[in-house]
Structure 1
Amino acid sequence: MNRFIRADATRCIGCRTCEVACVVSHQEQQDCAALSATAFAPRIRVIKADTFSTALTCRHCEDAPCARVCPTHAIRRGSGAILVEQSRCIGCKSCMVACPFGAMQVVKSAQGAEALKCDLCQHRDGGPACVDACPTQALECLDPEKLQRARLHTPRGIYPSSQARSISSARIFTPASIFSGSGT
């Protein structure tokens, strides 16, 4: 089983510190002063709604649909993660279409197109930079052993966070309610 980053939406405040940490970690100069708006391409993205925010990142799927569809085999399994070999990427965007989580992006760079996704900061000894930087500990890097321990200590049917938000105010939208302007 691959490692992956779990995002706890009940703790996320939408500050985007994880995005900045990711970009800084993947650039030559490990300094925020070297950041450029034109080259800002985090491998993790914060999604915000009215009262909800969470981080979206690669789940490092066991069956890796992105790797299956890559015509050049640029996406592969390695060291407990799904990784991209940029020199083989042709920028076809097949991986973006195949990813069920929307965690892949293809960006232009000086070398041509690059497929970007979370690589769990394989280049860092301390693990993912986003996890270290998150001020509310909303991100956690889970490996198979840590996930198994969490499963054993979480009662069935109970959300693991004591701060879980109630969804009693959730509205269900049907096509009819969308076009008539009312939610049910």
Structure 2
Amino acid sequence: MSSRLNSFILASAAKCIGCRACELACGAAHVQGGVSVGSLQGSIAPRLYLTRVEEICVPVGCRHCEDAPCAAVCPNGAIQRTDSGVLVDEEYCVGCKTCLAACPVGAMEMAQIWKDGRPALRKVVDPQNSDTFILEPALLASKCDLCHERENGPACVEACPKDALILVDPMKVKKRRNIEAALALAGVDTRTDFRSGEER
């Protein structure tokens, strides 16, 4: 378990225009085998979703909670807190859905798994006849992973045309606030950038 505070993506409803560029970028960033125009096999399943309430729209995704309720209830330990955030290890996920019920912001999803351009199937006991098995779509827990394997960071943040999404690193925020507090205590006007002298 990580001792570091988790980074997370913060969305601004005031800046969001509802264009869904974040969803498309997220979905494309998580397609196995890469994606290009005309080559996609399978579905695009973003890990954050644009939510509309009347005139307000804002992307909702995993907040990478410090106490990670989804990880606490996972019976297989498939969800872990790491230095990259709260991540799902698909190898250990059994699709039980307890993480969906535990997530306080509704950021967990059950995503269809695709193999070689086709929906993956799994064997389950037939509810009508416990002596036989049937095939059903394989679903696994899916959530924002902050694009931890992506060099440029979260695809949604990079794709947003209005900068409505930002990646928040709590340690950098704390450091900036500590500097501002120290300058304020020293009598320096913190509304002015102390390095350049320009108004913020």
Larger helix percent: 1
1:30 has 2:56 as partner = no
Q: Which amino acid aligns with 1:56?
A: V
Larger Rg: 2
Tell me by how many angstroms 1:78 deviates: 1.2
Checking the alignment, whether the CA contact within 8 Å between 2:78 and 2:90 is kept in structure 1 is yes
Q: 1:81 to 1:47 in 2, by over 3 A?
A: same
List alignment gaps of at least 5 residues for structure 1.
154-184
Matches within 5 A, 1:105-184: 105-109=109-113, 110=120, 112-148=138-174
Task: Tell me the alpha carbon deviations over residues 87-139 of structure 1, each in whole angstroms, 9 at most, x when there is no partner.
Answer: 10000000000000000001232262211100000110110000000000000
Q: 1:48 to 1:35 in 2, by over 3 A?
A: farther
Partner of 1:21: 25
Q: Which amino acid aligns with 2:140?
A: E
Task: Tell me the alpha carbon deviations over residues 121-173 of structure 1, each in whole angstroms, 9 at most, x when there is no partner.
Answer: 011011000000000000000112333256566xxxxxxxxxxxxxxxxxxxx
Q: 2:91 aligns to what SS in structure 1?
A: helix
Distance of 2:37 and 2:30 partners within structure 1: 11
The partner residue of 2:64 within 60, 73, 84 is 60
Structure 1-normalised TM-score?
A: 0.77
Larger strand percent: 2
List alignment gaps of at least 5 residues for structure 2.
114-119, 122-137, 181-200
What is the percentage of aligned positions where both structures have the same residue?
Answer: 46
Partner of 1:79: 83
Q: 1:92 to 1:63 in 2, by over 3 A?
A: same
Tell me by how many angstroms 1:19 deviates: 0.4
Tell me by how many angstroms 1:51 deviates: 1.1
> Paired residues, what number?
153
CA RMSD, Structure 1 to Structure 2 (Å): 1.9
Task: Provide runs of 4+ in structure 1 moved above 3 Å.
Answer: 32-36, 149-153
